[in-house]
Amino acid sequence: MSASDELLYDIEDGIGVVTFNRPQARNALTFAMYEGLAEICAGIAPDGPVRALIITGAGGKAFAAGTDIAQFRAFKTRQDGITYEEKSDGVFQALEQCPVPTIAAIAGACTGGGAAIAACCDLRIGARDTKYGFPIARTLGNMLSAATLRRLVAVVGQSRVADMLLTARLIEADEGRQIGLLNEICDDHGQALARAHALGQQMKEQAPLTMRATKDLLRALRDTAGEVDDRELIGTIYTSEDFREGMEAFIAKRKPQWKGR
């Protein structure tokens, strides 16, 4: 079945496949696509027909190149940024709480919101052209929430997250495999997707309760640290001159002129 033209959802032989279907925009995510992903994850029953979920991008050139930047033009208040991050966290939680194993089949650009989604998956299979990261310090001028940073730290550690965010560089496949960001590397998108399907078929034959308990406990272990109130920072960032400049420069395909305010 199809969730929408831009977010496809198919089930075949017990494996669900979500496809971000905006290849002309490197699968940049609309708010509706985020919401659709959350609805799909919430709709997977623990004892239902879907035994594993694969997430990938159409076209083979990108998993998802972040949020569609044009949508941010409607942001006017501090609350706009806070609401965006809170809704995003709700989507990521829905993906993490999906009761079946989740596998990201990644090729090309996996950045911003796409990289956050991949980090929420249980396994990540990458093509050799994978480029993963959050280059927002040189492109858009926004920020990652504390919840998203916590997820990334759980995957690759605080030092590597700091390196990735502060240098605004993208992690390529070999380094991603070395640091645990990618579980496996395949030659191209087709092979990554085929490997994800093979893993899904394998997991269909394994104990669902064991896998679900493993997912739940790993998430609980990660989340034992104290909560951080990041609303003040989020509100400041999303109403800053630099965020507006980064957004307009990104859309105009020019270099942003940062002012630090």
| Cβ atoms within 10 Å of 207's Cβ, excluding its own | 10
pLDDT of residue 4: 77
Residue 223 lies in a domain: no
Tens of pLDDT along the chain (261 residues) come to 345 799 999 999 999 999 999 999 999 999 999 999 999 999 999 989 999 999 999 999 999 999 999 999 999 999 999 999 999 999 999 999 999 999 999 999 999 999 999 999 999 999 999 999 999 999 999 999 999 999 999 999 999 999 999 999 999 999 999 999 999 999 999 999 999 999 999 999 899 999 999 999 999 888 876 677 889 989 999 999 999 999 999 999 999 999 988
pLDDT of residue 3: 55
Residue 254 lies in a domain: no
CA distance 205 to 208: 9
Q: What is the 3-state secondary structure (H, E, C) of 32-92?
A: HHHHHHHHHHHCCCCCCCCCEEEEEECCCCEEEECECHHHHHHCCCHHHHHHHHHHHHHHH
CATH of the domain at 117: 3.90.226.10
Residue 30 lies in a domain: yes
pLDDT of residue 225: 66
* Domain containing residue 103: 7-204
Residue 2 lies in a domain: no
Residue 132 lies in a domain: yes
CA distance 195 to 185: 10
Residue 217 lies in a domain: no
Residue 212 lies in a domain: no
| Cβ atoms within 10 Å of 210's Cβ, excluding its own | 9
pLDDT of residue 1: 39
Residue 149 lies in a domain: yes
CA distance 47 to 176: 34
Q: Domain total for the chain?
A: 1
